[in-house]
Amino acid sequence: MLSTPKPIEPISSAQIPKPRLSTWSVLSAALVAAIMSATAIYQFNQIAERSNDTRLLLTRVKEQVSRLNALEWEGIAKGEIDENLTEELAENRQSTDVILNELQQIDRGNNLSNLFSLYTLYRTKVDDAIELIAQGKIKEEIDIDTDSIDEIYDDLYAEVAILEKRYIKEKERTRRIADFGTSTSLILFAAIIGSLFHRFSNKLWVKNQALEAALQDLQQTQSHLIQQEKMAALGQVIAGVAHEINNPLGTIKASADNTHKALQEALAELPYLHQRLNNEEQASFFELIQRALNSQPLIASSENRALKRKLTAQLQEYDLENARDTADLLMDMGIYEQIEFLAPLLKGDQGEWAVQFAHNLTCSFINNQMILRAVDRSAKIVFALKSYARFDQTGQKQRVEITDGLETVIEIYHNQLKHNIELIRDYQPIPAIWGYPDELIQVWTNLIHNAIQAMQSKGKLTLATRQKDDGVEVKITDTGPGISPEVQQKIFDAFFTTKAAGEGSGLGLYISRKIVEKHQGCIGVESQPGHTQFRVWLPIGAV
């Protein structure tokens, strides 16, 4: 607070009083400070808004590229680009280019150059593949390096995700600076107001009421910001799930299209079966169909490519004109070894026709299996998201299956777990407990998400459950770098975080402990390099 200066001691018989700051001087200084602070805070908020706009555009790019990838692989998988697919590709590419143009216009620091380069490289590779298909160059199409295209797509997708995080951090950083400026301004204004209160004591009560109201507004604003961050986290989870569910949907569409085409071709050739094949060839033909129906199609891998080369060499011994194409068909049907039973068929003049015919007849069965698996995967994802997002407003305890909650969170983070993290489930039989399922899912989400981040998406994650005393114990263990003893003492404190700015609020473990304590349970941690384990004990309880 500004205080009234003491008079200068006399240097002569005449006393010279020290000048005082007038009320208007204080108010003028306050006005200048307010204008400067408001200008600075506004500029920082504008920067934060631009960062947020960029992040939103990047999210749209990620969704658009995922949609384009599904459409393009649909054409590559079918080996045919029809008119409808061409139209869809053109529309989606145009939408993607519009978004990228918007990003280029706001990319003042050339931060997105790697993104544009990766997208151009991906576009070139895919366009070359699609051009081969459009020109009907079957041999060149087969030689397409799909793994290389997938790697470029994964790099592009990862680059967008990294940029999203970078702009989220930039937004949070500028928001904090703006908040600091706001707090500093409030402190400065409080000091000025205190000085004025000292001068105008009769208005002290009114000014104090105004200050109290301002502080209450600030607290409400902070609560609103915390809620916004919670909703932003849910939005990021939904974006990840949308990417996950796009793959099975693409599989379903491609399988359905393949089945339709294969059945049309099979029905057209069916009347000629007895005319083209003798009895011995027909026996070999029907045995091929039976084996195909009882086999499992192979998933593409380097080992399978070696099997295909071996099969092609065996077929070439029968002087087949298109041995490689026939090998592709047999591999699709799950026939890749012990093909001696096909000798009567392959030695005849109609061998290649018969294999194609058999492939068309069994294609619907194979594609139906793929559709069922894709539907099952989609159902699991939707169920997990529904369980994750559900909010119980009754406030009543329910019977809770702990493993169901753990599996819901695992399904939500499937994309982060499926690559380089080994997941171990050590579930021992445990009884259901009475509790609040939505809140417990938040606990498992915080602990599993922290473990994934600590391991930097590479390591071993172990989930274990067992019955202990009159309750159940859940252990979540990761092989990350560990937590130092000093940090372990503060890890459950509110607003304490070891993460980089913008990556965490420091409330996750604090909220988790409050939820566990609400269930009359306890939570603890033990950690050393390469081994960090969180233990949660919950009583079985009663309603």
Q: How would DSSP label each residue in 220-258?
A: HHHHHHHHHHHHHHHHHHHHHHHHHHHHHHHHHHHHHHH
Cβ neighbours for 359, distance < 8 A, ≥ 6 positions apart: 262, 292, 329, 332, 333
- Give pLDDT, residue 203: 61
Question: Nearest-5° angle of CA 466, CA 470, CA 474?
Answer: 30
Among 192, 188, 187, 194, which Cα is nearest to 208's? 194
- Give pLDDT, residue 284: 81
User: In which element (H, E) is residue 468 found?
Assistant: strand 459-468
| C-alpha span between 448 and 18 (Å, rounded) | 67
| C-alpha span between 496 and 504 (Å, rounded) | 9
Domains of the chain: 23-199 (1.20.120), 261-380 (no CATH), 391-539 (3.30.565.10)
| C-alpha span between 194 and 207 (Å, rounded) | 9
Contact 335, 295 (CB under 8 A): yes
Q: Which amino acid, 352?
A: E
- Give pLDDT, residue 391: 54
- Give pLDDT, residue 138: 54
- Give pLDDT, residue 23: 60
C-alpha neighbours within 13 Å on the C-beta side of residue 414: 19
Q: Is 471 helix (H, G, I), strand (E, B) or coil?
A: strand
Tell me how crowded residue 151 is: count the other CB atoms within 10 A of its CB.
13
User: In which element (H, E) is residue 464 found?
Assistant: strand 459-468
Q: Over the stretch 439-498, which tens digit does the pLDDT of each residue have?
A: 888 889 889 988 988 898 789 999 999 999 889 999 999 999 998 888 888 888 877 676
Q: What is the pLDDT along the chain (543 residues), one digit of tens a residue?
A: 333 334 434 444 444 444 445 666 656 766 676 677 777 777 777 777 777 777 787 788 778 777 777 777 777 766 677 777 778 777 877 888 888 888 777 766 667 888 788 888 878 877 777 777 777 765 555 556 667 777 877 887 787 888 878 878 887 888 788 777 777 766 766 666 666 666 666 666 777 788 788 777 754 644 344 344 445 445 555 655 665 666 666 667 776 777 667 667 666 766 767 777 888 877 888 888 888 777 765 555 556 778 888 888 888 887 777 888 888 878 877 787 788 888 888 787 787 888 887 777 777 777 777 777 666 666 656 655 555 555 555 567 889 999 998 998 888 787 778 778 899 999 999 999 999 888 888 889 889 988 988 898 789 999 999 999 889 999 999 999 998 888 888 888 877 676 654 455 567 788 888 889 989 999 999 999 999 999 999 998 765
DSSP state of 502: T
- Give pLDDT, residue 359: 78
